Structure 1
Amino acid sequence: MPRTKRIIDLLLASIGLLLLWPLMLLIAGLVRLEDGGPAIFIQERIGKDGIAFQIYKFRSMRPAGRGRPITVAGDRRITRVGGILRRSKLDELPQLANVLRGEMSLVGPRPEVRRYVELYTADQRLLLRLRPGITDPASIAFLDEERILAAAPDPERAYVQTIMPEKIRLNLAYAERATPWSDLLVIATTLRSLVRRSSRQGQVAWS
């Protein structure tokens, strides 16, 4: 499984970059045009075996407006272009480079910042045996995470005490039965969920 998974990661990430580089170039230009800041956001995350690495994203927030690690819907730090990128998850496309570098997989638990990893219990730290990914079952389950957090009196507390433990549980359970085919299904389900959400939002915008 690990060898097959890595081959699939390399193949699909390479194809993705070859096909999507014009879109990625356009996104980078739009991000820079909005406020003149850098197109790529780089942040330390904790990966497999607790090893830190630099994750790549298209920047969706103002350079001088970074604060708490989590983001809620309506956060004033989010730019106009950034809001579109976050809703469509297009801000994650640069992580295809992380996949090629072997720091991430296409499917695996989303990597956390050190601040939250340090809160893991002994059982939750089993997650660090897995290579982090661009998408996972928890990402699908919590596709509207930012809206959920926006409704919480204390968003960070809600994330740490409720959402994060559930994400870890879902990912550990998935890892026990994961196969290359189930990974492909997770990717397909993620894409389908994003298309459906974009369609719903488009209908609301036109109504």
Structure 2
Amino acid sequence: MTKYYPIKSMIEWIFAAMLFLIVLPILLIVGILIKIEDPTGPVFFIQERVGKDNKLFNMYKLRSMRNPVIINEQELSHDDRMLKVGQVIRKLSLDELPQMINILKGDMSFIGPRPLLVEYLPCYNKKELRRHDVKPGISGWAQVNGRNHLSWEERFALDVEYVEKCSVLLDIKITLMTIQKVLMKADIVEKEVDYILAFDEYRKRQWEQEKVTNNVTPLFTQAVSFDSGSLVQNRKSEMQ
């Protein structure tokens, strides 16, 4: 981590406060459209994520999907649950705007590794956990270099690279690249089949493959401690 990082939070808080006032009318309009299309659900999707130093926090997003619904004993698919306004929200990346609240609360930054699910926490190796040495961001080095088209190893390598090289110039570069990708609607996943395999499932398969290949139980040193009871109690369905 560089000398720039300590002043980064102060700069981003001031910028987030000003920007939040600007985008507030957009949030209100989109919130009304969400309630018109699906009056029974909330405007915001709130989910517990992992932040700096492995601390948990509630991340805010505009809801783009209906809550899970069972029809004829079958749960509606990802595509069937997507709101019409939700498709627009996803394409324009408006669903991330409420995370400015997280910046104002001190949970997140504008730029940093994306905050991932709590259930992934036991699955990181020691090097991958370095992504939690800084606050998670609305956008990050991995997001502007492939986003969901990257493998988990590629994502985490870029996250750790950001932690090691964090600077004003790198943040400006990522910000400009983010704006470009939003305008070009690049690397946006819209269909369930395009989603990368969940990291906990991906890592479990790796361990199983290692076990089969080496005919031994894979060794894995859990490098993080957390309240497993709270993890089970607060486990929620993923709606990234």
Query: Is the pair's TM-score, using the shorter chain for normalization, greater than 0.5?
Result: yes
Find out whether 1:183 has 2:171 as its counterpart: yes
Query: Are 2:133 and 1:129 equivalent residues in the alignment?
Result: yes
3-state DSSP of counterpart to 2:60? strand
C-alpha deviations, 1:111-165, integer Å up to 9, x for none? Answer: 000122221112211111121010001111234x3xx5xxxxxxxxxxxxx6222
Which amino acid in structure 1 is aligned with residue 167 of structure 2?
T
Query: Shift of the alpha carbon at 1:184?
Result: 2.0
How many residue pairs match? The answer is 176
Q: What is the match of residue 80 of structure 1? A: 84
Correspondence for 2:121 among 117, 122, 130: 117
Matched, 1:94 2:98: yes
Summarize the Cα distance change of 1:120–1:11 in structure 2 as closer, same or farther, 3 Å threshold: same
Structure 1 match to 2:9: 6
Distance in 1, matches of 2:103 and 2:43, equals 19
Q: Quick check: 2:111–2:138 contact (8 Å CA) kept in 1?
A: yes
What SS does the corresponding residue of 2:110 show, helix, strand or coil?
strand
After TM superposition, the structure 1 = structure 2 runs for residues 94-173 of structure 1, keeping only pairs within 5 Å, are 94-143=98-147, 145=148, 163-173=151-161
Matched-pair contact (CA < 8 Å) for 1:4–1:180: no
Partner of 1:20: 23
Is there any run of 5+ residues in structure 2 with no aligned partner, and where? 71-77, 187-240
CA distance in 2, matches of 1:120, 1:65: 32
Q: CA deviation at 1:180?
A: 1.9
TM-score by length of 2: 0.68
Q: Distance in 1 between matches of 2:170 and 2:106?
A: 20
Q: How does 1:20-59 map to 2 (within 5 A)?
A: 20-36=23-39, 37-59=41-63
Moved more, 99-108 or 126-135: 126-135
What is the root-mean-square deviation of aligned Cα atoms in Å? 2.0
8 Å CA contact retained: 2:49, 2:57: yes
Deviations along 1:44-75, one digit per CA (max 9) or x if unpaired, are 00111111100000001112359xxxxxxx73
CA distance in 1, matches of 2:170, 2:36: 39
Q: How far 1:3 moved relative to its partner?
A: 2.9
Query: What code does the residue aligned with 1:193 have?
Result: K
Post-superposition shift, 1:16?
Answer: 1.1
User: Higher Cα Rg: structure 1 or 2?
Assistant: 2
Query: Runs of 5+ in structure 1 lacking a partner?
Result: 67-73, 149-161, 199-207
Verify the 8 A CA contact 2:5 2:166 in the aligned structure 1.
no
3-state SS in 2 of match to 1:106: strand
SS of equivalent residue, structure 1 residue 44: strand
Q: Give the alignment's TM-score, normalised by structure 1.
A: 0.79
Identity rate, percent: 33
**Which amino acid is 2:10 matched to?**
I
Letter in 2 for 1:165: E
